[in-house]
A and B are shown apart, each in its own frame.
Chain A
Amino acid sequence: DAGVIQSPRHEVTEMGQEVTLRCKPISGHNSLFWYRQTMMRGLELLIYFNNNVPIDDSGMPEDRFSAKMPNASFSTLKIQPSEPRDSAVYFCASSLGDRANQPQHFGDGTRLSIL
């Protein structure tokens, strides 16, 4: 079975450019999460969706970050304009949100470098 698919795997871009990260969750999963991993802050939640509806976006750093989930099989995380401090690994994860014992399955992550 296909796992969570993220693209691109690596992104290098210059400060000020728009960056779009993409995620395809596991089919049938109704919860989708975006996390960011940095050396300084570890793994932290940015936003999550249940049944395509954003539930908690309190982790989104500022207005430069936005996330959408137009349907059950696709989500995007957009940064506009990007800044060097946005450099991190961004993970998308999905789970069966109605069962507590179901783990979140992570994609391979997008390693983002803002120059």
Chain B
Amino acid sequence: AQKITQTQPGMFVQEKEAVTLDCTYDTSDPSYGLFWYKQPSSGEMIFLIYQGSYDQQNATEGRYSLNFQKARKSANLVISASQLGDSAMYFCAMTAQAGTALIFGKGTTLSVSS
């Protein structure tokens, strides 16, 4: 069975600092996808970044990058130069193959202060 673990219930960072949100996963499937979503206090789910299990390079999208360590089964999200608007809940999720459901972690609440 697949499982996502996010061990940090809350993280605190100051503006302009970088922050790493941890995510470990467990699966026996050789092919899988890893996703990060952001949920601000308004409640919507916003897709941030994707990493495929066979991708050789770590994914990057603007200020977001994914530190993918396959042997350790970790897919940490790195946010560079934090902004106040980054304050939100962040979910790590995975799927075994295209068109199947996402398995979510419990989430990490990020608070960015000025």
Contacts and interface: CB of A to CB of B under 8 A. Distances in A.
A43 B91 contact: yes
Interface in A60-104: 89, 91, 93, 95-104
Given A91-B45, A103-B47, A106-B44, A98 B99 contact: yes
A44 B4 CA distance: 12
- Tier of interface size on chain B: 20 to 34
B43 interface: yes
A61 to B, nearest CB: 16
A18 to B, nearest CB: 24
A111 B102 contact: no
B33 A101 contact: yes
Contacts of A56: 100-101
Interface string B50-94: 101000000000000000000000000000000000000001010
B31 A42 contact: no
A45 interface: yes
Contacts of A91: 45
Contacts of A109: 43-45
Contacts of B102: 33, 35, 43, 45, 93, 104
B27 interface: no
B60 to A, nearest CB: 14
Contacts of A111: 43
The residue among B31, B35, B104 with the most chain A CB atoms within 10 A of its own CB is B104
Interface of B: 31, 33, 35, 37, 43-47, 50, 52, 91, 93, 95, 97-107
25 contacts: A42-B105, A42-B107, A43-B91, A43-B93, A43-B102, A44-B104, A45-B101, A45-B103, A50-B99, A55-B99, A56-B101, A59-B101, A97-B99, A98-B99, A100-B31, A101-B50, A103-B50, A106-B44, A106-B45, A106-B47, A108-B43, A108-B44, A109-B43, A109-B45, A111-B43
